[in-house]
């Protein structure tokens, strides 16, 4: 079986004619990948209206029609930004797309002169934790019950 084509990293432009389709694809991915209480599927449109939020996505196919992954970030202040979501479709994982999306989000925060980038991740998601560590994130602390009772999160950070 041939390897899938490389994905392009794009920033969502809400005024673009394909923006609605991209958002619909991301909502479907949110519903498939994350438990209901962690999903932004119901609030994605509101999140995107925030002035300090950004969304980048990886698009594939000859016409760039398939959304294979996405990352959302919020620049809370000039001191700190947060990666709020990073997800890649299952059949596109372990091909560098998550790493490319994370690097693009980090670069956009650097351009805004953010000093620290933070995120939360479930410690049992070992591939995600490894990705963040590889990119230079460090565990700050474990937040008990962050996702649900008996389901903690690492709070990780990277100084820019």
How far is Cα 58 from Cα 63, in angstroms, rounded to an integer?
13
More confident residue, 41 or 79: 79
- Mind giving me the DSSP string for 62-107? TTS-EEEEEEEEEE-SSSEEEEEEEEE-GGGTTSSHHHHHHHHHHH
Q: Which band of pLDDT confidence, cut at 50, 70 and 90, is reported for residue 64?
A: low
Token digits for 96? Answer: 């560098």
Domains, the chain, with CATH or none: 8-114 (3.40.630.30)
User: The pTM is what?
Assistant: 0.85
pLDDT in tens, 85-134: 999 999 888 999 999 999 999 999 999 899 999 999 999 999 999 999 99
């Amino acid at each position: 079986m041939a390897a899938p084509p490389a994905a392009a990293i794009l920033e969502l432009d809400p005024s673009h004619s394909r923006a609605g389709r991209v958002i619909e694809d991301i909502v479907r991915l949110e519903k498939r990948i994350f438990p209901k209480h962690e999903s932004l599927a119901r609030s994605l449109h509101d999140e995107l209206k925030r002035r300090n939020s950004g969304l980048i996505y990886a698009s594939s196919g000859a016409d760039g029609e398939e959304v294979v992954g996405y990352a959302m970030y919020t620049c809370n202040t000039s001191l700190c930004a947060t990666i709020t979501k990073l997800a890649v479709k299952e059949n596109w994982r372990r091909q560098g797309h998550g790493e490319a999306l994370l690097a693009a989000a980090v670069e956009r925060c650097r351009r805004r002169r953010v000093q620290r980038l933070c995120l939360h991740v479930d410690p049992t998601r070992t591939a995600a934790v490894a990705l963040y560590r590889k990119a230079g994130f460090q565990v700050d602390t474990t937040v008990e019950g962050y996702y649900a009772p008996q389901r903690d999160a690492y709070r990780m950070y990277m100084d820019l």
